[in-house]
Amino acid sequence: SVDPMTYEAQFLGFTPQTCMLRIYIAFQDYLFEVMQAVEQVILKRLDGIPDSEISPVQIRKCTEKFLCFMKGRFDNLFSKMEQLFLQLILRIPPNILLPEDKCQETHPYTEKEFQLLQKEIEQLQEKYKTELYTKQALLTELEEQKIVQAKLKQMLTFFDELENVGRGHGISDFRESLVSLVQNSKRLQNIRDNVEKEGK
């Protein structure tokens, strides 16, 4: 049931429990060291008193008695402090989101929604590709139209030039001239026929 406090670890770079364990061990070491120093000082003092009738073993027992008591109080106090640390200092409140996870708040996406988004993007990509193909086809046709129009216009110009040729020789309109020519030749033919007939 221990809360691994992984979210805090993500922010702190270490787990709060590790931090507290480190502090606990350091504090405890200092307690032991200081007590050891106290015992050393007392023993040294006793050396200076020849008839003290207190043996080092007895002093050791005194030290153990005091240390045992202190250790009990130490553990008790430290566990309380640890709880406070873990609740108030080395803890990210439940309503708080770390900056690097802001996107989870602003863009919460389930896997399903995300797949839909990806599918939508694929469809858009296909559509874009289609539009590009369409553009290419339209541009190609426009090019062809240009060529065809140029050719057709060239033909019209050719016809104009033909007519201009006639006009240059005084023939405004080929058709009319031909028609009149045909009519005249028919009339001539008729006249000729008449003349022959009358000659006979």
Residue 67's alpha-carbon distances to 35, 74, 83, 110, in angstroms, are 7, 10, 24, 57
Q: In the chain, where do the E strands start and end?
A: none
* 23 burial level (CB within 10 Å; 0-12, 13-18, 19+): middle
Contact positions with another protein (CB under 8 A) in 147-176: 148-149, 152-153, 155-156, 159, 162, 174-175
The nearer residue to another protein, 1 or 106, going by C-beta atoms, is 106
Residue 23's alpha-carbon distances to 29, 44, 68, 82, 193, in angstroms, are 10, 31, 20, 9, 142
Q: Of 121, 165, 191, 195, which one interacts with another protein (CB under 8 A)? A: 121
Token reading at 44? 């040294």
Nearest approach in angstroms of CB 71 to another protein is: 10
Site mask for another protein (CB under 8 A), range 62-81, x = bound:
xx-xx--xx--xx--xx--x
Q: Of 60, 132, 190, 195, which one interacts with another protein (CB under 8 A)? A: 132
Q: Of 1, 50, 57, 110, which one interacts with another protein (CB under 8 A)? A: 110
Q: Of 1, 6, 169, 196, which one interacts with another protein (CB under 8 A)? A: 6
Number of residues that bind another protein (CB under 8 A): 105
Asked whether the beta carbons of 71 and 31 are under 8 A apart, the reply is yes
User: Which residue from 91, 84, 102 is spatially nearest to 11, judged by alpha carbons?
Assistant: 91
Q: Of 47, 131, 164, 165, which one interacts with another protein (CB under 8 A)? A: 131
86 binds another protein (CB under 8 A): no
